[in-house]
């Protein structure tokens, strides 16, 4: 007596159902990843803003006029020894240039893309408070 081997064959409908489920799960993960990528870009931008401000303020503390530091920011970042690529450092997480200025004897750094992201995030959350991220108010002097 020979035993028959059971054959497991998948029908076309079963295969289509599996493909649809994989696509559905993939789309949900994709939407969630988009938000995570934007959060990462925002974090990178905030961190870079703090670093740039600290390095430039060190130059001002050494006695270099603030206008000179701002106009030659790339040179001072490169010469600090704390930055590998000054041109890359002066771009935010979205690849746009930072706006570097001064308010009195303080260096101010801002990013249009970060402001737009935070406004979009606040609108999505229903918050109406304006977002100020010039990095000035965080100093306790």
- The rounded mean pLDDT for the chain is 84
Q: Looking at the domain assignment, is residue 113 inside a domain? A: yes
The answer on pLDDT for 108 being more than 60 is yes
pLDDT at 127: 61
Contact call for residues 113 and 45 (beta carbons, < 8 A): yes
Q: Looking at the domain assignment, is residue 95 inside a domain? A: yes
Q: Domain limits at 31?
A: 12-125
6: pLDDT confidence band, cut at 50, 70 and 90? low
Q: Looking at the domain assignment, is residue 139 inside a domain? A: no
pLDDT at 138: 41
Q: Looking at the domain assignment, is residue 74 inside a domain? A: yes
Q: Considering its fold, how many domains does the chain have in total?
A: 1
Q: Looking at the domain assignment, is residue 118 inside a domain? A: yes
Q: Looking at the domain assignment, is residue 77 inside a domain? A: yes
Q: Looking at the domain assignment, is residue 5 inside a domain? A: no
pLDDT tens by residue, 52-81: 999 999 999 999 999 999 999 999 999 988
What token pair was written down for 52?
A: 């740039």
Counting beta carbons within 10 angstroms of the beta carbon of residue 27, is it exposed (0 to 12), middle (13 to 18) or buried (19 or more)? exposed
């Amino acid at each position: 007596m020979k035993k028959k081997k059971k054959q497991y064959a998948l029908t076309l409908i079963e295969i289509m159902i599996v493909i649809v489920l994989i696509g559905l799960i993939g789309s949900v993960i994709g939407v969630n990843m988009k938000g995570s990528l934007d959060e990462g870009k925002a974090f990178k931008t905030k961190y870079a803003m703090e670093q740039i401000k600290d390095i430039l303020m060190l130059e001002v503390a050494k006695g270099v006029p603030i206008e000179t530091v701002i106009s030659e920011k790339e040179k001072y970042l490169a010469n600090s020894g704390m930055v590998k690529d000054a041109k890359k450092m002066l771009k935010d997480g979205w690849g746009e240039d930072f706006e570097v200025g001064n308010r009195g004897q303080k260096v101010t750094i801002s990013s249009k893309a970060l402001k737009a992201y935070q406004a979009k995030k606040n609108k999505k959350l229903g918050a109406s408070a304006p977002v100020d991220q010039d990095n000035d108010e965080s100093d306790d002097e």
